[in-house]
Amino acid sequence: MMMEDPQSEHQRMVRRHHREKKELKAQIQAMKNSVPKNDKMRRKQLLLDVARLEAELEQKHQQELEKFQENFPDNSSQVDSVAEDLAKMDLENQPPHLTRAQRRRERRAALERERLERIAEAETEDLASFRHEEEQKLAAILGAKNLQMKDIPADGHCMYRAIQDQLVFAVTLECLRGRTAEYLRKHVDEFLPFFSDPKTGDGYSLEAFMGYCDDIVRSASWGGQLELRALSHVLQTPIEVIQADSPVVVIGEEYTKKPLVLVYLRYACSLGEHYNSVKPLDACAIGGAPRLF
């Protein structure tokens, strides 16, 4: 059987690449049509799936072009030209001293940047939508309690600042962090089993736990439910945490004082989770609210 000459094989590959791109475009359009625009979670996943499919096809085509170049080095100039056309990238302004390998590397890097930018753009749009929906739900929950959110800066200290805002007595941020760390150190057996490395899932060693406590004092490390548990004991006061999509969490129920109230937000800022304080609902109307507690 006669082998197909390089030029014919090259043309066949180009036609197939063009067809596969058209087919993928049609597949993506069908995927978009199948997901309602008001289904935010599925739309977010759709955008991620589209970026993945486009990247996979582009990588497949690039590998085939490079393999062709290896098998037929004398036709490499055709491969470079077709690769540029298929990716719709203009390389005419590239410095003339760049080698074909360098151009391929830069092209792959550019494709990856475009893919990441598409994902980031989709996530940013979804974050804004989720944030708005979360704020609406929280406004309804707080409104039923005659409360509204009081914004706390997103600087890593938000949980401690929200607690500080709720207290009837003056206390510094450094004091709250120091008392939290001190309580954790004194009650290692109670808290250590609940600490684990977020990357590996392995439980903390005693040394790692003590280092974590040191970070509470020395850095702007974020606080969470375990720190709130420690603070409820330190202050001998229950702490209520209001969330948009979950029941109210009450920490320190054994205490009888009027609870401190915090609002937990998942989508408040691009950095991630956040805590706010609360104030009376009529605060804006009276122009300067008194402290809640």
Decide if 155 is catalytic.
Answer: yes
Q: How far apart are CA 13 and CA 20, in angstroms?
A: 10
Tokens of 202: 């392995």
Active-site residue, 245 included: no
Please give the Cα distance from 187 to 108 (Å, whole number).
53
Q: Which two tokens stand for residue 23?
A: 């087919």
Cα 154 to Cα 177: distance, rounded to the nearest angstrom: 16
Do residues 253 and 136 make contact, with C-beta atoms less than 8 angstroms apart?
Answer: no
For residue 264, which phi and psi values (nearest 5 degrees)? -105, 125
Which of the residues 61, 158, 165, 213 is marked catalytic? 158
- Answer yes or no: are the C-beta atoms of 35 and 43 closer than 8 Å: yes
Amino acid at 271: L
Q: Tell me which of 5, 39, 85, 155 is the catalytic residue.
A: 155
Quote the CA–CA distance of 11 and 17 in Å, as a whole number: 10
Active site residue 284: no
Closest CA to 275 of 175, 168, 197, 161: 161
Catalytic entry in 10, 17, 157, 274: 274
Give me the active site residues, please. 155, 158, 274
